Amino acid sequence: MDNETPISDDGFTIDDEFRNLLPPLNTEDLENLEKNLLDEGGARELLMVWAETKKLVDGHHRYDICKKHGLAYAYEEKSFADRDAVIEWMFENQKNRRNMNKFLWAESVLKRKNSIEAEAKANQRAGGGAVRLKSDKPVNTLKKLAKLAGVGRDTMHKVSVILTFATADPTNVRLKEQVNKLRKGNAEVSISGVYDELNELIGKKRTTKSSQSKRKQQTKKAISSPFPAEPPQDLAGHL
């Protein structure tokens, strides 16, 4: 598989999606972890491996440091029903261990949006679209993502909108700076503040009645929708 790197001498493999699911430790935290492992002569806490596939699911930083310095480490195995179950466990397992702010959690969890939406569609009757079988449980994508991230649905929605606009216009210096500050937890900006600025800017971009009508539809889709596909075209370069 393309996202898998075989590690023949360890008994498990490194999966790129699992490794990159959460942001890497910051420099200070990584240095502290390395110092602790060196002082202790290795990793006291066991790494975790998905029993059915022999993929590493917890302890990537510890593993890398131990391999770098030739330190001792060991692992235990845990069974999971499927890949999605592994990823949900990884998020839950790290909530009380990682020093991540709300924006970073929401951004990381958004990687699961397509999978959760696919689950929602799978729970609908084949060919029926919006009609569910009585045995089906409805899947609210926004609600599920918010729960995984440990944030409110409103926060999850706002982060989704911000990242959608940032992705659509990567040359926008101001928005790029704001996103970087949000990732670092800079007190100068807030999720609601950046979101409100986007919302306000869209409202100010008015020229003719014709464009007003079109913009209202775009704004409703970009701001009111839980996961906007893309921002209004006339927004690019104006934030």
Of 46-50, 91-95, 101-105, where does mean pLDDT reach its minimum?
91-95
Q: Amino acid identity of 34?
A: E
138 lies in some domain: no
Q: What is the CATH number of the domain that holds 56?
A: 3.90.1530
Residue 220 is predicted with a pLDDT of: 63
Q: Is residue 183 part of a domain?
A: no
In this structure, is residue 20 part of a structural domain? Answer: yes
Q: What percent of the chain has pLDDT over 70?
A: 73
Expressed as residue numbers, the domain containing 85 is: 1-98
Least confident of 2-11, 20-29, 169-178: 2-11
pLDDT of amino acid 141: 87
Q: pLDDT by residue (tens digit) across 42-78?
A: 999 999 999 999 999 999 999 999 999 999 999 999 9
- What pLDDT is recorded for position 223? 64
Specify the pTM. Answer: 0.73
Region 32-44 average pLDDT: 96
Following DSSP, what letter does each residue of the chain receive, concatenated? -TTEE--TTTTSBEEHHHHTSSPPPPHHHHHHHHHHHHHHTB--SPEEEETTTTEEEE-HHHHHHHHHHT-B--EEEE--SSHHHHHHHHHHHHTTTS---HHHHHHHHGGGHHHHHHHHHHTBPTTTTTPBPTT-----HHHHHHHHHTS-HHHHHHHHHHHHHHHH-TT-HHHHHHHHHHHHT-TT--HHHHHHHHHHHHHH---SHHHHHHHHHHHIIIIISSS-SS--GGGTT--
Domain assignment present for residue 5? The answer is: yes
Place of tokens 């992705």: 167
Classify residue 37: in a domain, yes or no: yes
